[in-house]
Amino acid sequence: MGRVYVSLRDRPAGDAGDTPGPGAVRRRVASTVVLLGLVSMFTDVSSEMVAAVLPLYLTAELGLGYVAYGFLDGAYQGVSALVRMLGGYASDRTGAAKWIAVLGYGVSAVSRLAMLPAHAFLAITAVVTADRLGKGLRTAPRDAMIAAASRREDLGRAFGVHRALDTVGAALGPLVAFGLLAAVPGGYDSVFVVSFAVAAIGVALLVLFVPARRALPAARLRARGILRELTGRRLRRPVVACALLGAVTVGDGFLYLSLQQRTDLDATFFPLLYVGTNTVYLLLAVPLGHLADRLGRARVLVGGHVALLAAYLVAGGPVPGVAAVVATLVLLGGFYAATDGVLPALVSPLVADEARASGIAAAQTAVVVARFASSVAFGALWAVSGPGTGLVVFAALLGVVLPAAAWLLRSAEAGR
């Protein structure tokens, strides 16, 4: 199943770039951005291959119980938030964003091979954790590189192109993995080996072709300087807005579950809901990124949350049916396309170039932590009042928060 993470996928910052053709209305996206998109695509194919078969492998092949899987899932999801900050900081301090990213991608790639001999529960936990650490480490430096390679006025489209390629990878991974399992039943080792090979191609692309723009030592900030940038008032407003919006964002898994329960949808369609959302996301990522560059990123970001609010109302509303399912998927895909890449495009010009990766990481972490809190709160509400009421309550909360967040975002973007 292609996945849309509850956490923001990545996060960036930046301005001037190496894009040719000034004056053209539709400039080509920098080759570095496309290359980084391809790196992400290969890596996502690789990681989603493993993620798709992991529950099956653990329970059916290794005979670890359900409870063990649940525990592992927690480790899988929870590790990367702190490392994300570390990755951003290390990138700014050393001025070597590319090599921090290479380390992150490399660790994840090698972890695929380590799956082969790992059969005990603890060993697998360690391998999965290493993969997540790699993901946390690489995200901020990678997004900082996207921002650095793009013109300030094209950032939305640049991130849109990157996220679209990334999503292609997420959609392909499970297909490749289950295709392999169909050809070689029980061939989990084949899945891990192919997953490693795909990841290795991604790392090779990054190492060989993405230019390293190493900042001169004089241009690097010390720890205190980075901290000053992070706590500066220009970054503060969007970060607060992100946290506010994240705190009323319901994970898409809950929306799907609500749809499924309320429409009596055949449970086997469940994985297809992820595919539907990802397809819409994939199709809209570039156009909405472009729109954000022209209309204003804050505006598109707010519009994305309006789509999310509508998705709550449709999924939790009184008339669920096939039309409601389709509408929810389109709205949710639109929400991701209008926010996931647009937010970094909005945030990156607000931070000094020398603290870009740290600034990106800070915004990402705010959203991830807020969304985690939100999913806990929503889960509790769901238990008390059921999915329909829960979604309507969160729609109301989002309606209250949205104007405040919109003001924060727009004033930050306008530099007031």
DSSP assignment of 167-203: HHHHHHHHHHHHHHHHHSTT-HHHHHHHHHHHHHHHH
d(C-alpha 378, C-alpha 370), whole Å: 12
Smallest distance, other proteins to C-beta of residue 72, A: 9
Smallest distance, other proteins to C-beta of residue 188, A: 9
- Would residue 294 be called left, alpha or beta, if left means φ above 0 and alpha means ψ between -120 and 50 degrees? alpha
DSSP assignment of 84-129: HHHHHHHHHHHS-HHHHHHHHHHHHHHHHHHTTT--SHHHHHHHHH
d(C-alpha 210, C-alpha 203), whole Å: 10
Smallest distance, other proteins to C-beta of residue 192, A: 10
Smallest distance, other proteins to C-beta of residue 289, A: 25
Task: Decide whether 345 or 367 has the Cβ nearer to other proteins.
Answer: 367
Site residues (vs other proteins, CB under 8 A): 1-3, 6, 52, 55-56, 59-71, 73-74, 76-78, 119, 121, 174-175, 178, 180-187, 189-190, 193-194, 197-198, 200-201, 204-205, 208-209, 251-254, 256-257, 266-268, 270-272, 274-275, 372, 375, 379-380, 382-383
Residue 387 structure tokens: 């999915």
Task: Decide whether 159 or 382 has the Cβ nearer to other proteins.
Answer: 382
Residue 273 structure tokens: 């809901």
Task: Decide whether 16 or 272 has the Cβ nearer to other proteins.
Answer: 272
d(C-alpha 117, C-alpha 230), whole Å: 42
Q: Which amino acid is at 211?
A: P
Task: Decide whether 175 or 227 has the Cβ nearer to other proteins.
Answer: 175
- Maximal CA-CA distance, the chain: 62
Asked if residues 345 and 297 have their Cβ atoms less than 8 Å apart, the reply is yes
DSSP assignment of 266-286: -GGGHHHHHHHHHHHHHHHHH
Task: Decide whether 62 or 306 has the Cβ nearer to other proteins.
Answer: 62
Smallest distance, other proteins to C-beta of residue 30, A: 17
Task: Decide whether 2 or 104 has the Cβ nearer to other proteins.
Answer: 2
d(C-alpha 4, C-alpha 17), whole Å: 29
Smallest distance, other proteins to C-beta of residue 42, A: 10
Q: What is the DSSP letter of 79?
A: T
Task: Decide whether 71 or 407 has the Cβ nearer to other proteins.
Answer: 71
Contacts for 232 with CB less than 8 Å, ≥ 6 apart:
351
d(C-alpha 22, C-alpha 361), whole Å: 30
Task: Decide whether 121 or 407 has the Cβ nearer to other proteins.
Answer: 121
Smallest distance, other proteins to C-beta of residue 340, A: 15
Asked if residues 235 and 351 have their Cβ atoms less than 8 Å apart, the reply is yes
Smallest distance, other proteins to C-beta of residue 5, A: 9
Smallest distance, other proteins to C-beta of residue 52, A: 7
Q: What is the DSSP letter of 415?
A: T
d(C-alpha 320, C-alpha 323), whole Å: 8
Task: Decide whether 176 or 292 has the Cβ nearer to other proteins.
Answer: 176
The pair phi, psi for residue 16, each rounded to 5°, is -55, 155
Smallest distance, other proteins to C-beta of residue 299, A: 27
Task: Decide whether 186 or 403 has the Cβ nearer to other proteins.
Answer: 186
Query: 141, 142, 109, 139: which is closest to 127 by C-alpha?
Result: 109
Smallest distance, other proteins to C-beta of residue 282, A: 15
Task: Decide whether 18 or 73 has the Cβ nearer to other proteins.
Answer: 73
Asked if residues 360 and 347 have their Cβ atoms less than 8 Å apart, the reply is yes
Determine the length of the chain.
416
